Structure 1
Amino acid sequence: METTTSVNPPRKSLKKPLLIAGAAAVVVLGGLGTAYAKFDLFKSPKTIYLQSEAESMLKFSSDISKAYGEYEDYMKPYLEKPVHSTTELSDITVDAALTDPQAQKVLELLKSAKIVVQSNIDEQKNQQQGNLEVHLKDKKLATMEFFLNDTQLGFRLPEFYSKYGYMDLKDRDVFKEKFGQELPKRFLTYRDLMKAVQISQDEVKSVLAPYALIYADSIQDSQVTLNKGVSFSEEGFQENAREITVTFTQEEAKALATKLAEKAKADEKLFDLIYTRYHNVATLLADSGYKVEEISKEEFKKNYEQSFDNLLKEIKDSATDSKEQLKMVVLVDGDHQILSRKLMFTGNDNKQEQPFFSSITYQKGADSLYRYALHNPEDPADGEVSYAFKATEQNGKTNGKLSLLVKNNEQPTFDLTSTIESVKEGQKSSGKYDFALVMADKYNQPMALNGNITFSETKTDNGRDSDSSVKVNFDNPLPDMPKGFSLKLKSKQEFGKALEIPAMTADNSVNLANLTEEQMMEIQQEAGTAAQKFMMENAELVQQFMQP
């Protein structure tokens, strides 16, 4: 009997293929979702615009935080440690064809002169001390020593008088009685003021966020149009973009301005942000002995609310019968970054372009371009204030161009352009700035100059060393004016080197608040004798100026 065995092939498990297929589907759908998000296939022009504003603001905030962090890192040693610095100014050359022999001698002496400033600063203790030396032909000619702390300011000319002359703010009542001069209780520092007005980034975001929401909620779909396939092209940089236009009629602009003003009037966070800084500065000034009339918080609040009441009344009384619109045109790239922005009025026929603000913020890879400009909306060609910076940064090398323009009545009152070349290698940075400047004088006549600045800075274990040179040439100078000048600057900074301000005693100082006639006579006698000695030791120099 033959037995037939029925063999069923084993059933393959579907679990693994299904998992693979599911994973593939997730990847595909996720990719499609990313593509849809990137290309905005299902988004309205309004949504694309608001997302672009949000993304651009986040990037701007990140860039500001990064720049401020780098600034803090650079400044940290100066704020936390005593700093000793030596600065030398030398090789002062003036290019001038002078007919006066005495003036020519001055220029020759100036070329052999060197000014050396020794400075010691301790920001933690609010102390400064140092001296200024004048050298001529490799010989120290004269010195001025100085010091400053919370309440004292003193100086000394050791070649002419051996003691310090100083003023102590603790003697402010004596100064007021003798000289009628009102002095503070202490000297304020930049650090004091910055501490009084500083605002954290989170605090700013918290205050401004509601206003961004009001703006976003006020925009209607009908106000926003989108034009695809537009090209951003500025100064050799090109990028595919979309053009988004947002328009406001007079009524829409009026409604938005009213909402923002009403919100600001009732905004306790905004009020506290402003009032706290005002109170901090007023308290700092009062505690330091400066005259200040601080108004109460209630009075400040009353003035604050009244300013917005006045603004709301102006908005309410403004006419809305004009057909002129406010138009904003932005170019946006595929990553929702705003590349350029232009704000303009359209005129009553809505066919004109009267720009009053424009900006470009382009950054791709090693290339960047930033430009900001304010225009006269009545006549954009008549008035302008603009700033622009273009750079390529790669492998530690930066090549760029900077410009700053202030124009009035079609004529530049200030026009600065500069090309920048810099290199950073390890702890050393070096570079060169070529610049040209045109300024208008009080008679609206242009004065032009050009030149260059070279620099190098090396970071050491406990400080920084730097060298720089400056050269300036005047375009078409008057016959009695120099053609240009040049100089060199050398600086060495050491962190952590403690400074000591000498204690003021009767043996080494004179208190200017209590200066007696006897002390005045002593000063005159010693200074007179020292002046004669100075002239004898520098007889050759004195004779040069006495000879015709």
Structure 2
Amino acid sequence: MNNNENRTGRSEAAAATETVPSRQMGKFPLKWVIAGIVAFLVIGGTAAYALIFNKSAKQVYLFSEFKTFQKAAEDFEDQNGELADFQEKFAEMASSTKTEVTGGVEADGVLPPEFEMIQELINEAAITTDVEQDPKSDKSFTKAGIAIQGENLLDMEIYQSPEQVAAKIPSIYEKYLYLNSDEYGKFMRQVDPAYSGPEKLSFQPLTIKDFELNEKEQKHLQDTYVSFLNEQLKDEFFTKKDNVSYEHNGEKQSVTQVTMKLTEKETKTLISRLLDQMIKDKELHTIIANRVVKIGNTGASQMDMMDPETVKSDFVDGLKDAKEGLKDAKIPKGFTSVLMVNGDELVIDRKMDLAVTDTENGSKNEVSIHTMDVPYDGDKKRDQEFKMDLVSDNQDEGASILLTNKIAKTDDANRTENLKGKISSKDPAAEGAFNFSMKSEFSGKDPAKQTIKRDFSLGTEDGMDSPFKIEGNVTQKQDVSVKDNYSNQLFEIKLNGGADMAEGSISLKIDTKTKLKKNADIPKVNLDNEVNINNITPAQMTDIQIKAGTKLQDLMMQLGVI
């Protein structure tokens, strides 16, 4: 797959909402299975009409959804393409990365003497890391240090290869402590006799390429499901009205209103046939299982290793359970989706409604989704909204999500975004509302060479058991070049906690510089005479404790803590 295809696949993934199956395939409430499948039907069928121009109501509906999805992917690529391309290259090439972290703590009130000392240390401290890594050989070498007022206090070295991981703090103990990767299970059972996870450590990180569809997979999904949806979504499901007046922020425009409406029987038939198709689609099972296993078996998880065949079986069983539950399900209002399509054949307003009656307790659950993406003022401004309401007869169920974003461009190099969000729940275990807001100022025509200033606030509403609120700001300066193989990122973060943080603030500055290169400068580390933590003798343990204790005491005295 070439680079352009990679970027297209990545952008389309970012433009859509993806659901990753969980490690343990439990039974999900049927109402959510139905809602998820209907959303898939709406989005998935759109690709069938990319090249149709003399359009019926069905064609207008599907083509406008496709074009809107494509536009979202293009917008994502315009804003993030260079950064994502660099990350993909970073996952393949040798590199060196230098990072410096500094920070500070401020408090308005009078602090006890011991806290004043800690505050002073934090304000004068710097943490540095220098990492050399080679993804092809799966090796890396890290040097980390802590300095106070420019004076080095503590150093650490970390070496990692497919066979071993080793660490050394020279100022505390002169030898490496290492673990052979194939002895990880043995080590974990010394810590936890009931451990039943991986026997061997794997240091291969997950990358976006682990989840991208290859050409064969893409072709299979397109050929199978575009054709299926094209056949199953009948023309009679759709109606349209031309020249409908649509007003937003005082501006009127003429749009095409397109409606897709299915009765209860039609909705259930469509979902049932889709489930049948997915149950018999062995290639789909493989696509999903391969990715679930990659997630589940990454790192040193203590959960059982996952087997692809088990994941496939669990996935199919889940589909069969959903189909069985669908037989008795009641969808009294069927499914309705209404689109407002502008002159550019883009969806600017979308409403979807679905009601499901719970067969176990008889409660009625309604799902309503409203999205909006309206450009105005000569395309200088843009209002976006996502709203989802989950309403239930059961007073202990129900939730809502509201996200809004107001975008305003002053010119090609400068824009502001005002993002707000609110999540509310009626679940007794998490009843209340969570609010988030962030105003961002973007400076720089090239997204890879931008300065972004953000002011944010997050917290819970008054009336909750433990309300809180945190405010702060983040300044991000980035300079990234795939062509010249470098990335410079600077983050300056400040959190103001109000009463929750004793009217104080915490600041953090993270300066990272990465350079891609042909070969990594990884030193050869001979561990023959070092200490295997699986085979530490009582004498070695005593030696480590004495030396480490003495040097830590010296360090504390040097810092003035004791």
Q: TM-score, normalized by length of structure 2?
A: 0.74
Alpha carbons 1:345, 1:377 under 8 Å: kept: no
Change over 3 Å in CA distance of 1:239–1:167 after alignment to 2 = farther
Question: What aligned pairs does 1:207-246 form with structure 2 within 5 A after superposition?
Answer: 207-234=221-248, 239-246=253-260
Q: Distance in 2 between matches of 1:451 and 1:498?
A: 38
Question: What aligned pairs does 1:39-50 form with structure 2 within 5 A after superposition?
Answer: 44-50=56-62
**Could you say which residue in structure 1 is the equivalent of 2:307?**
294
Q: How far 1:312 moved relative to its partner?
A: 3.0
Change over 3 Å in CA distance of 1:235–1:498 after alignment to 2 = farther
Alpha carbons 1:93, 1:487 under 8 Å: kept: no
**Could you say which residue in structure 2 is the equivalent of 1:75?**
87
- Greater mean alpha carbon deviation, residues 196-205 or residues 159-168: 196-205
2:540 equivalent to 1:530? no
Amino acid corresponding to residue 62 of structure 2 in structure 1: L
**Could you say which residue in structure 1 is the equivalent of 2:160?**
148
Q: How far 1:451 moved relative to its partner?
A: 1.5
Change over 3 Å in CA distance of 1:121–1:415 after alignment to 2 = farther
**Could you say which residue in structure 2 is the equivalent of 1:185?**
200
**Could you say which residue in structure 1 is the equivalent of 2:40?**
none
2:487 equivalent to 1:464? yes
1:47-73 deviations in Å (ceiling 9; x for gaps): 432333343344455556767754442
2:508 equivalent to 1:499? no
1:307-334 deviations in Å (ceiling 9; x for gaps): 44433333333347x4x34321110112
**Could you say which residue in structure 1 is the equivalent of 2:533?**
512
Question: What aligned pairs does 1:95-174 form with structure 2 within 5 A after superposition?
Answer: 95-172=107-184
Count the aligned residue pairs: 489
SS in 1 for 2:540: helix
RMSD: 4.1
2:329 equivalent to 1:314? no
Amino acid corresponding to residue 526 of structure 1 in structure 2: K
2:407 corresponds, among 367, 391, 395, to 391
Q: TM-score, normalized by length of structure 1?
A: 0.75
Q: How far 1:125 moved relative to its partner?
A: 2.1
2:510 corresponds, among 478, 489, 505, to 489
2:268 equivalent to 1:254? yes
Alpha carbons 1:232, 1:239 under 8 Å: kept: yes
**Could you say which residue in structure 1 is the equivalent of 2:100?**
88
Q: How far 1:295 moved relative to its partner?
A: 6.6
Amino acid corresponding to residue 451 of structure 1 in structure 2: G
Q: Distance in 2 between matches of 1:84 and 1:419?
A: 34
Q: How far 1:114 moved relative to its partner?
A: 1.8
2:422 equivalent to 1:405? yes
**Could you say which residue in structure 2 is the equivalent of 1:273?**
287
**Could you say which residue in structure 1 is the equivalent of 2:496?**
473
- Greater mean alpha carbon deviation, residues 149-158 or residues 400-409: 400-409
Alpha carbons 2:186, 2:534 under 8 Å: kept: yes
Percent identical residues: 20
**Could you say which residue in structure 2 is the equivalent of 1:328?**
337
SS in 1 for 2:288: helix
Q: Distance in 2 between matches of 1:285 and 1:444?
A: 37
Change over 3 Å in CA distance of 1:285–1:418 after alignment to 2 = closer
SS in 2 for 1:417: strand
Structure 2 unpaired stretches of 5+: 1-51, 358-364
Change over 3 Å in CA distance of 1:157–1:96 after alignment to 2 = farther
Change over 3 Å in CA distance of 1:160–1:459 after alignment to 2 = same
Q: How far 1:244 moved relative to its partner?
A: 1.7
2:459 equivalent to 1:438? yes
Structure 1 unpaired stretches of 5+: 1-39
Q: How far 1:376 moved relative to its partner?
A: 0.5
Q: How far 1:432 moved relative to its partner?
A: 0.4
**Could you say which residue in structure 2 is the equivalent of 1:35?**
none
Q: Distance in 2 between matches of 1:222 and 1:171?
A: 64
SS in 2 for 1:492: strand
Q: Distance in 2 between matches of 1:445 and 1:160?
A: 42
**Could you say which residue in structure 1 is the equivalent of 2:31?**
none
- Greater mean alpha carbon deviation, residues 358-367 or residues 73-82: 358-367
SS in 2 for 1:376: strand
Question: What aligned pairs does 1:342-357 form with structure 2 within 5 A after superposition?
Answer: 342-345=351-354, 356-357=368-369
Q: Distance in 1 between matches of 2:493 and 2:426?
A: 33
Amino acid corresponding to residue 515 of structure 1 in structure 2: I
SS in 1 for 2:488: strand
SS in 1 for 2:271: helix
**Could you say which residue in structure 1 is the equivalent of 2:434?**
414
Alpha carbons 2:92, 2:136 under 8 Å: kept: yes
Q: Distance in 2 between matches of 1:200 and 1:363?
A: 35
Change over 3 Å in CA distance of 1:502–1:524 after alignment to 2 = farther
Change over 3 Å in CA distance of 1:472–1:271 after alignment to 2 = closer
Q: Distance in 1 between matches of 2:175 and 2:218?
A: 52
Change over 3 Å in CA distance of 1:160–1:245 after alignment to 2 = same
Q: How far 1:453 moved relative to its partner?
A: 0.8
Q: Distance in 1 between matches of 2:190 and 2:57?
A: 73
SS in 2 for 1:80: coil
Change over 3 Å in CA distance of 1:223–1:442 after alignment to 2 = same
Q: Distance in 1 between matches of 2:465 and 2:521?
A: 49
Q: Distance in 2 between matches of 1:443 and 1:225?
A: 46
Alpha carbons 2:453, 2:475 under 8 Å: kept: yes
1:106-139 deviations in Å (ceiling 9; x for gaps): 2123222222222223222222221332222332
Change over 3 Å in CA distance of 1:404–1:148 after alignment to 2 = farther
Q: Distance in 1 between matches of 2:463 and 2:139?
A: 41
Q: Distance in 2 between matches of 1:532 and 1:52?
A: 69
SS in 2 for 1:264: helix
Larger Rg: 1
Amino acid corresponding to residue 340 of structure 2 in structure 1: L
- Greater mean alpha carbon deviation, residues 148-157 or residues 452-461: 452-461
Q: How far 1:197 moved relative to its partner?
A: 4.4
Amino acid corresponding to residue 264 of structure 1 in structure 2: M
